[in-house]
Amino acid sequence: MPVDALLFDKDGTLFEFAATWNSWTETLIRDLAQGQDDVAQKLASVLGYDLNAGALRPDSIAIACANAEIAAAIASVIDHMDASEIEDHLGVSAASADLAEAVPLVAFLDDLLARGKVLGVMTNDAEYSARSQLERSGVLGHFEFVAGYDSGHGAKPDPDPLLAFCKAVGVEPGRTAMVGDSRHDLEAGSAAGMRRIGVLTGLALQDDLAPLADVVLPDIGHIPAWLDT
């Protein structure tokens, strides 16, 4: 069955995860710790961040969890902001993060649109952050649907936000591919009855994604060739 629509995860899929979020996470930790090294260590622990290596670990909650969950974990460590304030801070701060595109996005998405594909984004980041980042990359207008965990459809691995995309654009799930770098992305795609494309621009490895995916590609730039097979 042909693929008529593609729904992309954002972090680790459209944007390389480590290159975009490692330094941002360390800045976040230092800011929230307010100069207290013991608090910084606790924040690094709950976020799954290795302060010595300057990198998020593969089991980090930042990879697939929604901002509300991440904020709750941070709130268990600091006392100068509550979970709601932290959640707001995460969304605003992430919106201005330095972005590392997985491939040159304008050309890649132009090609998919020229093929007649319908495109969307579903991220467990906030919708405000997602729209800001896509706009800064010059590709917001390429997508007919952009949703975050706070858009009213739920969050991955729940299939509801994926099905909301299909309903919004009028494409059946079986003719849609979910593209993502995490197990949550692919689990959501499976539950929604979609094709599933795993990419290795996040922190998950081939062996992590292969059991859940129809195909695992080095990055989204290989999707056009896969569509042609």
- E strands, 60-194, are 118-122, 145-147, 176-180
By three-state DSSP, how is residue 50 classified? strand
Residue numbers of the domain that contains 34: 18-95
Mean pLDDT within 9-36: 96
- Supply the pLDDT for residue 63: 87
**128 shares its domain with 190:** yes
Q: How far apart are CA 43 and CA 97, in angstroms?
A: 19
Q: How far apart are CA 150 and CA 68, in angstroms?
A: 9
pLDDT tens-digit series, residues 123-143: 999 999 999 999 999 999 999
Mean pLDDT within 7-25: 96
Residues ≥6 apart with Cβ < 8 Å to 85: none
**84 shares its domain with 124:** no
Task: Single out the residue in 42, 61, 95 at which a domain terminates.
Answer: 95
Whether the model pTM is above 0.75: yes
Backbone angles phi and psi of 228, in degrees to 5: -80, -10
Give the DSSP H or E segment for 108: helix 105-114
Mean pLDDT within 143-163: 97
For 159-224, give the DSSP string: SHHHHHHHHHHT--GGGEEEEESSHHHHHHHHHHT-EEEEESSSS--HHHHGGG-SEEESSGGGHH
Rounded to the nearest integer, the mean pLDDT of the chain is: 96
**220 shares its domain with 199:** yes
The pLDDT-based confidence of 187 (bands split at 50, 70, 90) is very high
- Supply the pLDDT for residue 55: 96
**11 shares its domain with 22:** no
**126 shares its domain with 35:** no
- Supply the pLDDT for residue 1: 81
Residue 64 has pLDDT above 90, yes or no: no
